[in-house]
């Protein structure tokens, strides 16, 4: 009697097929049953995780470092946006204030600048012309005080008299300083003469004067 040519699988082949089936079945099971909720924290390295497979509440605090995060995918932090806007606003307001400062006519409610007939010099407003009337020194001081100013010092008046367009009265102009009268021991009020010389005269004499007022009034 002839034997059939078919032979049953060898034990080795059966075992190999069984192992392959188990392996394929395990992969399918893992793909369908394992998700982010079933992964234990810190059980897998970051490079083994599929994007979007692990929810944020499964990531331990401080477990991700900067080199593992793609910075350009992060949005702007709300407080940072607010800070940026605030900084821009501050610079903008400073620029506006600086621009308006050049056109300012008042500072804290006070007028800035010199009115007509006066010139800014040495941080104050000087009258361009001396008084038309001659008065004694006390009267000159009172007149300047009534205008919101004062008589200038001798050296300041000398310097101002050298400015273009300024002419001292020929007989001299009163200042706010006291000096000796010639060789006498008497004191008088200092006068600046047209030749830019300085001398002292009795306060009762009659002289012209000009006032100096603050730049901000």
Does the structure show a pLDDT above 80 at 177?
Answer: yes
Does the structure show a pLDDT above 80 at 18?
Answer: no
* 41/20 Cα distance (integer angstroms): 31
The domains of the chain are located at 11-73, 111-214
What confidence score (pLDDT) does residue 103 get? 46
What confidence score (pLDDT) does residue 98 get? 46
Tens-place pLDDT, residues 155-176 = 999 999 999 999 999 999 999 9
Mean pLDDT (the chain, rounded): 75
> Which two structure tokens, joined as six digits, stand for 36?
């982010």
Tens-place pLDDT, residues 22-57 = 555 555 544 455 555 665 666 656 556 555 665 666
Does the structure show a pLDDT above 70 at 151?
Answer: yes
Decide which of 16 and 158 is more confident.
Answer: 158
Question: What backbone phi and psi angles, to 5 degrees, belong to 141?
Answer: -65, -40
What confidence score (pLDDT) does residue 216 get? 80
Decide which of 151 and 28 is more confident.
Answer: 151
Question: What backbone phi and psi angles, to 5 degrees, belong to 196?
Answer: 65, 25
What confidence score (pLDDT) does residue 113 get? 85
Per DSSP, the three-state class of 43 is: coil
> In CATH, which superfamily holds the domain spanning 111-214?
Mannose-Binding Protein A, subunit A (3.10.100.10)
pTM assigned to the model: 0.51
> Phi-psi category of 167—alpha, beta or left, where left has phi over 0 and alpha has psi -120 to 50?
beta
Residues 6 or more apart in contact with residue 138 via CB below 8 angstroms:
203
Surface-to-core class of residue 181, CB atoms within 10 Å of its CB (0-12 exposed, 13-18 middle, 19+ buried): middle
What confidence score (pLDDT) does residue 108 get? 41
Surface-to-core class of residue 132, CB atoms within 10 Å of its CB (0-12 exposed, 13-18 middle, 19+ buried): exposed
- How does residue 195 score in pLDDT terms, banded at 50, 70 and 90? confident
């Amino acid at each position: 009697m002839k034997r059939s040519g078919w032979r049953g699988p060898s034990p080795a082949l059966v075992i190999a097929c069984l192992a392959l089936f188990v392996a394929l079945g395990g992969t399918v099971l893992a793909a369908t049953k394992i998700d982010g909720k079933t992964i234990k924290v810190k059980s897998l390295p970051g490079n083994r995780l599929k994007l979007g497979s692990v929810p944020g509440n499964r990531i331990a605090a401080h477990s991700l470092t900067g080199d593992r995060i793609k910075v350009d995918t992060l949005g702007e932090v709300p407080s940072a946006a607010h800070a940026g806007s605030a900084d821009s606003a501050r610079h903008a307001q400073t620029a506006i204030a600086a621009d308006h400062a050049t056109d300012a006519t008042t500072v804290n409610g006070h007028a800035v600048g010199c009115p007509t007939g006066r010139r800014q010099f040495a941080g104050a407003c000087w009258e361009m012309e001396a008084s038309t009337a001659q008065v004694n020194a006390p009267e000159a001081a009172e007149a300047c005080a009534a205008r919101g100013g004062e008589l200038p010092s001798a050296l300041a008046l000398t310097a101002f008299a050298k400015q273009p367009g300024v002419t001292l009265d020929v007989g001299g102009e009163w200042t706010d300083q006291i000096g000796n009268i010639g060789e006498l021991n008497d004191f008088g009020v200092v006068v600046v003469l047209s030749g830019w010389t300085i001398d002292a005269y009795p306060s009762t004499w009659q002289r012209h004067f000009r006032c100096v007022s603050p730049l901000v009034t």
